[in-house]
Structure 1
Amino acid sequence: MAAGITTSALGPPDYKKALEQFDAYVEALGKCGLSVIVLDPLEGHPDAHFVEDAAVVTPEIAIITNPGAASRKGEVTSIAAALKPFRKCVWIQTPGTIDGGDVLTIGRHVFIGLSDRTNADGARQLGDALAGFGYTWTPVPVAAGLHFKSSVNAVGRDTLLITQPFAAHPALAGFDRIVVSPQEEYAGNTLLVNGHLIMPADFPDTRQKLQALETPIIELDTSEFRKMDGGLTCLSLRF
């Protein structure tokens, strides 16, 4: 795990503590009404536990990504095998690159972040594949943060939790926006699951803002995944 890609200066993750945090995450998903499939470790791919980056799944199709980091490209085959019993799979082709962490689907519209990991060709391929099922899509440049969902996440039907750099972004103008304080930017990666919000622990200002939604909140310690630039959405594919 510690051999994965990170820009963090928080030090190496504690593997035992990471396993405990992961088990708590799986338990929380179960409490939200989901059945969880836990994949086997993927030797030689220390970032593979961030499964969200390897695919984008809708009710109609699974799109297997072409990750933007060269060291992660080998992760997609195992994800495709896991998804094949549930969805038809199509693949993003080179030169397109895309990470699932850059893709936010709200209803029938998809926001695709253009980041260091997701390029314009990958976004176009994804958008074209989903357009065949009636989806529309908007590309959004990501100037700060690893992925689009590092900074923008849905916390309600028409409500986004966003970091300050996206607070006035014109692509998000049609939504109610809860803005995370600069001191709590990591809490912007909060996960909405079946009418529950799973958020990282120890971000009291963000929790207070989210309580106004009157949605049940589950706080989880994700300190070890944060050290590897990961968050709550990264650790699962929900469908």
Structure 2
Amino acid sequence: MTRSEIIVDLNADLGEGVGDDEAMIGVVTSANVACGFHAGDPHELLATCRAAVAAGVRIGAQVSYPDREGFGRRFMDIEPTRLTADIIYQIGALQAIARSVGADVEYVKPHGALYNSIVAHERQADAVIDAIVELGTELPLMGLPGSLSLRRAERRGIRVIAEAFADRGYRPDGTLVPRSERGAVLTDTEEIARRVVAMVERHEIRAVDGTVMRMEAESVCLHGDTPGAVEHARAVRSALAAAGIGLAAR
């Protein structure tokens, strides 16, 4: 495949009430819109969906644990049927808001601790997948490459979107370094841009211990709530364009 044939999606978490959503929505091709359980309120989500439509950006449901106090970054041992109901509720609410501005929710991306939990937690992974199945399997699930959740989703007929993170550190096993540990978040703009081009062109990423890993990803996440986020995002987009790599929701 030549550079001109490479296409990648750029996504960011929006509607959370943190960061510069207006700037980020001008960079990304997909918006992971908060659904109110970890952040956001109906007015904010409506404004975010309206802005996404105006920018031609795809809307995804950023579902999470009911954890506003912890910003959805704390594991919660929720009974699976209750978690399934929570996910259905969140997707349904955002779908109604999106449709009110002429759009649809086009994928599901778990947030924070829920995202990390379903990499290996069978019952919670199945709970999220059950919610998508009960709503109709046309909604793809975005998640970590090789994760339990993506494997089980595919087996149940759900399309998956493998995702890499521009500014997060990786362990040698392909999982993310916990935010409580050193190396969890990258802050050097040039380094972030270089590693994204490398992962998109060569499907490689370097773990915190120096291990070079294979990384197949259709979408790259640009966090909007970290210091320098907009600068990082713009640098990534510019670096991809300079490398001849196209941008589009996939």
Normalised TM-score (structure 1): 0.34
More helix by share: 2
Q: TM-score scaled to structure 2, two decimals?
A: 0.33
